Amino acid sequence: MSNTILEDKTVLSFHSVAGFRTAGTHCGLKPNGDNDIALVISDRPCQAVGIFTTNQVKAAPVLYDQAIVARPDAQVRGVIINTGSANACTGTDGLARTRQTAQLVAGHIGCTPGEVLVLSTGVIGLPLDMDCMARGITDLAGQVRPDGWPDAAAAIMTTDTRPKLASVTTPEGYTLTGITKGAGMIAPHMATMLAVIVTDAVIARSVLDKALRRAADHSFNRIVVDGDMSTNDTVLVLANGASGITVKDEAGFQAALTELCTTLAQAIVRDGEGATKFISLHVTGAADDAAARTIARQIAVSPLVKTAFYGGDPNWGRILAAAGYSGASIDPDTLALWLLGADGSRVIQLVEGGHPTNYDEPAAIAHMQQAEWGIQLDLGMGDGAALVWTCDLSHEYVTINGHYRT
């Protein structure tokens, strides 16, 4: 693969989390021999919350997990994650195999099947190979360890070129660690990916749920690779309280979780299928935040905009056109557009009052050839604002997805 975007920003540093053990191994779901199954377990029951795909076509493990975390008394001991098969569009058989997977894990870690969550990713419509799953779960049960996070992160990859893992240790003394996967089928409506985040903090389930939803709105729901939405999107947060430290500063916990989710979300975009550029897209001056989000998302998914990003072409008309057909209200005569540096500073103004400025075209092209930069579109209408992280659309993206199964 030619995906070389910001290799030095690969997220691999982590801290073990009290009471949690993890592992990743190969069970045969991937024919190339790469690790393809991971397990996260807690030595005690966890508070568990989750958010899931808004796609109406939901994979069997999504339906299964939603039912568990919806229970007010939900307690979770383990999460099993497989690649190779999404177990989506597999009907009642798919649900049966999901339940069987949970039963196998429960038997090894000494809990009930209802305390095991199941995540799957891979090809849609492919039945889950239960012989492989059983073999993998048996192996994982003997391999889990407190520092097994890198192996687990590597085992959940599909078209990802590198594992995605991050941690935050708070001043209060509790820790949050998370793994995620995703490189394609990424859209900002509960973005397309899998993520498991754990903490050893003592925290009320209602507070944990609220914190996850706010964190996702500021991270996973702000990323775009290609605009497609998966059948399997899931973000889980488990809290086992093993540190003995009760969260008293809810704002501090919120900040830590949002920081972690943002790091993981940006890692997905940086590793986008075929991506060569990481772009921060700021929309300001909208009538309200909702309008700004609508416009930002439309620009971020536009194939014409994204291919211009790839070519380093300051074809600003494509950006304005995408804003214009987003459905949000704009005034063409008040639009202003800037190229931004990686730090968010304004570098070159391309448009003022809806018309091109006398900008330096070679300088703009050179700026857009960099691996990381941004754009700001100001609508001049109000105080609404939004931020989305996206990437370019390259030849390699077509190659990857044109031969995904072949």
Residues 245-299 pLDDT 10s? 999 999 999 999 999 999 999 998 898 777 889 999 999 999 999 999 999 999 9
d(CA 82, CA 118): 8
pLDDT, mean over the chain? 91
Closest alpha carbon to 130 in 107, 109, 101? 101
Question: What domains lie within the chain, and their CATH numbers?
Answer: 7-270 (3.60.70.12), 278-402 (3.10.20.340)
Asked if 138 is an active-site residue, the reply is no
Checking if the pLDDT of 190 tops 90, the result is: no
E-strand stretches of 14-172: 20-25, 37-52, 76-82, 116-120, 164-169
- Burial of 72 (C-beta count, 10 Å sphere; 0-12/13-18/19+): exposed
- Identify the DSSP state of 359: -
pLDDT of the residue at 398: 72
User: Model confidence at 10, in pLDDT bands (50, 70, 90)?
Assistant: very low
Cβ count near 242 (within 10 Å): 21
User: Model confidence at 337, in pLDDT bands (50, 70, 90)?
Assistant: very high
Q: Does an H or E element contain 198, and which?
A: strand 194-199
Residue range 363-388: mean pLDDT, rounded: 97
Answer whether 372's CB lies under 8 Å from 9's CB: no
Q: Find the catalytic residue in 25, 192, 199, 263.
A: 192
pLDDT of the residue at 245: 98
Across the strands, what pairs with 234? 52, 194
pLDDT of the residue at 4: 34
Provide the sign of the torsion angle of the four alpha carbons 337, 396, 219, 291, taken in this order.
positive
pLDDT of the residue at 183: 62
Residue type, 151: D
Checking if the pLDDT of 5 tops 90, the result is: no
pLDDT of the residue at 55: 83
Q: Does an H or E element contain 97, and which?
A: helix 91-109
Residue range 303-326: mean pLDDT, rounded: 94
Written as six digits, the tokens of 234 are 């899931």
Provide the sign of the torsion angle of the four alpha carbons 152, 74, 208, 42, taken in this order.
negative
Closest alpha carbon to 59 in 16, 101, 90, 13? 90
pLDDT above 90 coverage of the chain, percent: 79
Q: What angle do CA 117, 104, 158 make, to 5 degrees?
A: 55
Residue range 183-200: mean pLDDT, rounded: 72
pLDDT of the residue at 187: 56
User: Model confidence at 12, in pLDDT bands (50, 70, 90)?
Assistant: low
Residue range 7-21: mean pLDDT, rounded: 75
Cβ count near 138 (within 10 Å): 15
- Burial of 394 (C-beta count, 10 Å sphere; 0-12/13-18/19+): buried
Q: Does an H or E element contain 179, and which?
A: strand 175-181
Residue range 108-112: mean pLDDT, rounded: 96
Its pTM surpasses 0.75:
yes
pLDDT of the residue at 405: 56
* Least trusted range by pLDDT, from 11-20, 108-117, 142-151, 342-351: 11-20
Checking if the pLDDT of 232 tops 50, the result is: yes
